Amino acid sequence: VGGALESIRAQAVERGKGNRTFRETSVATLELLLPRDAKKCDVRNLNQRLDEQGVKNHSKVMVLKVSDAEQISKEEEEKKNQKESIQRTQKGFQILSERGGEDPDTTPFLEIADQKGNPLKIPHQEKKALILAMGFHEKGRSLMKRKQYDNALCHLLQADQQFR
């Protein structure tokens, strides 16, 4: 009984020190639980602060290590999604850039014009490259607005290649 009471007293003293530190410096004390064979985990949003996620001073937090195989498979899936996005974007803008002629069904959706709205006479290959580049650039900008910087960089690099 005496050992249990001493343990409770020591824990209360530690909590008191932690509370004082938290009030003075806003540094929280967290108790980390490290399981040996945990299979499930509660994934927290890494883009938010801990207090925004409901973690308070003296909270108990379980820490799990993600295996390298899981990390590699996630990276491969992200690369695959990036590649598919680039291919979809390129296919769509190629279709738009190749439309043209006298037939109203094939009239171009996109025309390159000057500041006054007059269509510019550009050779077909250059016009196609310019439309593709502008499409990749705009897609990259929209991805940056959504804070998907890795995907945006790929699209912007594709735009740069098309401009050349």
Cα 76 to the chain's mean position, in Å? 15
Output the average pLDDT for the chain: 76
Task: Assess whether 51 and 122 both reside in one domain.
Answer: no
Let me know: does 21 contact 29? Beta carbons within 8 Å: yes
* pLDDT tens digits, one per residue of 130-150: 888 888 899 899 989 988 888
Q: Tell me the DSSP string of 104-141.
A: GGG--S---B-TTSPBP---HHHHHHHHHHHHHHHHHH
- Looking at the structure, tell me whether residues 49 and 79 fall in a common domain: no
Q: How many CB atoms lie within 10 A of CB 158?
A: 20
Q: pLDDT tens, 53-101?
A: 676 766 666 665 656 666 677 778 888 888 888 888 888 888 877 765 5
pTM: 0.47
Do 145 and 76 reside in the same domain of the chain?
A: yes
Domain check: are 47 and 114 in the same one?
Answer: no
The residue segments making up the domain with residue 39 are: 2-62
Strand, helix or coil for residue 61: strand
* E strand map for 36-81: 60-62
